Amino acid sequence: MGNYQNMQAVNHSENGVNLKLLHAAIRFNSMILGLTGGSLAAIIIYFATHASMARWGEDSGNYLGLLAVFFPGYSVSPTGAWLGALWAFVYVGTFSALSYRLYGRVLGTRISEILLSTTPTENPVLRPSIMRLHGMSLGLAIGAMAALGLFCSTAWLVIRGTAAESVHAALLANYIPGYSVSILGGLIGAIELFALVFLGCLLLAAVYNKVVARRHT
């Protein structure tokens, strides 16, 4: 780990960037973010299911039970909580991993911009720097994934023939004008959601970077 300088001689592109190391770095962090996001989502679904059962008993599952449309086998029950956790891990883990992959790809050779300091440290692995967020790349990556998620889930409702009964999904039109549970509505919704998530990510990165700058410089 300490002699990472040995890697410098290999796989450099024309402008001197070690692309093999860069791509390995993106893959590694994609996996870490996938595990992070997936585990957190699984924990949330597991406890939300149990909280719903504890709060409403026999009547629980009115809203949470709708997840069964996307989580086959899920129900607001002790067994359902485990199944829900599994599906949440798979969906959110995949979403998170692909988001980081896209983030890394968009960021590309500007990866040093996410570091608070680019001064070489004694050991960047054991004495890590503080991370900054690149708002534009983050917005593009998460926005694209969220848009794809909305389009795919809308398309799934249309394909399974329950579009007309999907009154809860249709309520999204309150926040995303033009959205409807149809292929065209899903497409319009995806474009608008991309813009909204992009703006949200810009705000998140701006606040995060401001606090980091205040605390560490």
Name the segment binding other proteins (CB under 8 A); options: 69-77, 87-95, 119-127, 178-186: 119-127
Part in contact with other proteins (CB under 8 A); list of ranges 35-43, 72-80, 157-165, 184-192 = 35-43
Report 38-77 residues binding other proteins (CB under 8 A): 39-40, 51, 55, 63
Q: What is the dihedral of CA 34, 38, 40, 43, to 10 degrees?
A: -160
| Rounded Cα gap, residues 201 and 140, in angstroms | 9
Q: Measured between alpha carbons, how far is 130 from 160 in angstroms, rounded to an integer?
A: 46
**Interface with other proteins (CB under 8 A), residue from 121, 159, 165, 178:** 121
- H or E segment and range at residue 90: helix 78-107
**DSSP classification of residue 122:** S
Closest residue by Cα to residue 141 from 195, 91, 110, 102: 102
Query: How far apart are the C-alpha atoms of 189 and 180, rounded to whole Å?
Result: 8
Site string for other proteins, 136-175 (x = CB under 8 A): --------------------------------x--x--xx
Give the residue carrying structure tokens 């129900």. Answer: 75
Please, which residue, 79 or 121, has the CB nearer to other proteins?
121
Q: Which is nearer to other proteins, 1 or 72 (CB)?
A: 1
Per DSSP, the three-state class of 18 is strand
In whole angstroms, give the CA distance from residue 102 to residue 201: 14
Do residues 100 and 6 touch, judged by C-beta distance below 8 A?
no
Is there binding between residue 1 and other proteins (CB under 8 A)? yes
Site string for other proteins, 179-198 (x = CB under 8 A): --------------------
- The residues of the shown chain that bind other proteins, judged by CB under 8 A, are 1, 4-5, 7-8, 15-18, 21-22, 25, 28-29, 32-33, 35-37, 39-40, 51, 55, 63, 109-112, 114-115, 118, 120-121, 124-126, 128-131, 168, 171, 174-175, 200, 203-205, 207-209, 211-212, 215-216
